[in-house]
Amino acid sequence: MINKRIAVIGTPGKWSTEVLADHLERLTGFRCVVDMAEVVLNLQTGKLTYRDVVLNELDGVIIKKISETYSPAADDRIRMLDGLRADGVRCFSAPEQVGRLINRLEGTAALARGGVPLPETRITENTQAALAVVDEFGKAILKPLYSTKARGMIVLEAADGTEVNTHKLETFRTEHGLFYLQKFVNLGGQDLGMVFLGGEYLCTYARVGDANAWNTTINSGGKYQAYDASPELIELGYKAQSCFDLSFTTVDIALTEEGPVVFEVSAFGGFSGALKGCGIDAAEKLCEYVLNELETG
């Protein structure tokens, strides 16, 4: 066993969190799953405590899940972790990099600046401007700035008319505020998850959608399958994930008639797709990567 104390910041009881903790316990003999809802930050000392564990005294932490849902509060939790590195605690991934992806606008803006092809996207607070975008696109997806797995997303069609779309936009505004509108992309029944570990390509899986859903997420009935990505597609994934500095991530890619586009780079990445689609235990590989990084400095 390797004598390192590494905690998993995640959701106690959830498979993706617990499988990391299982692997770390097997490799190091130490097990600690941290629920950020119970963490206390002492600003005078800079210490973060979870029950009887002082996180500043650990060798490292793996940030697997900061919250069950993305929100400004999730961003606050990330900021609480910023001080760990000052005490020599390695974070996988670094909190400031994860924070760039909690907010959809910040994450996709970084991709756009990096020259990564995205679906056409417009952001505005103005309802009339948003209606003009829907008319321009013909069909658009209205997305909350803080969400995952297509939660809270709404399809708007110009054919539905101004009155219907105005009502949808104003209802959306009451909960989410800013309008983030993306041109509807025909997925052809699938999109891809391209997995990277330490900046290196690991595998690609497909999410094959349910015929009755507009998106391919597992929450909407999608299924995982293996996918043999071309070198050109892998290069696109490299380009997208290199806009950030993440220990582990998944790049979401759609194959459209105009060519591949990137939807997003995940703040945390997922293990299920790699395991069920490609037969790769990405959680185990992440733990081995983390231990090697700690051993080699």
Give yes or no for a contact between 206 and 279, defined as CB atoms under 8 angstroms apart: no
Low-confidence ranges of the chain (pLDDT < 50): 214
User: What is the C-alpha to C-alpha distance for residues 156 and 169, in angstroms, rounded to an integer?
Assistant: 9
User: What is the C-alpha to C-alpha distance for residues 190 and 187, in angstroms, rounded to an integer?
Assistant: 6
Q: Please state which CATH class domain 6-101+286-296 belongs to.
A: alpha beta
Domain ranges, ordered by start, for the chain: 6-101+286-296, 121-183, 186-281
User: What is the C-alpha to C-alpha distance for residues 138 and 118, in angstroms, rounded to an integer?
Assistant: 17
Buried b (16+ CB within 10 A) or exposed e, 241-265: bebbebbbbbbbbbbeeeebbbbbb
> Is 296 exposed, middle or buried (CB count within 10 Å of its CB: 0-12, 13-18, 19+)?
exposed
Question: Given this model, what pLDDT does residue 216 score?
Answer: 54
Q: pLDDT, tens digit, for every residue of 190-230?
A: 899 999 999 999 999 999 876 555 455 655 557 899 999 99
Question: Given this model, what pLDDT does residue 257 score?
Answer: 86
User: What is the C-alpha to C-alpha distance for residues 105 and 10, in angstroms, rounded to an integer?
Assistant: 24
Q: What angle do CA 72, 34, 207 make, to 5 degrees?
A: 65
Q: What is the CATH number of domain 186-281?
A: 3.30.470.20
For 121-183, CATH number out of 3.90.1150.10, 3.30.1490.20, 3.40.50.2300, 3.30.365.10 equals: 3.30.1490.20
pTM for the full predicted model = 0.90
Of 215, 214, 190, which is closest to residue 204 (Cα–Cα)? 190
Give yes or no for a contact between 243 and 265, defined as CB atoms under 8 angstroms apart: yes
Provide CB contacts within 8 A for 76, sequence distance 6+.
none
Q: pLDDT, tens digit, for every residue of 142-182?
A: 999 887 777 889 999 999 999 999 999 999 999 888 999 99
The residue assigned the tokens 């992309």 is: 185
Question: Given this model, what pLDDT does residue 67 score?
Answer: 85
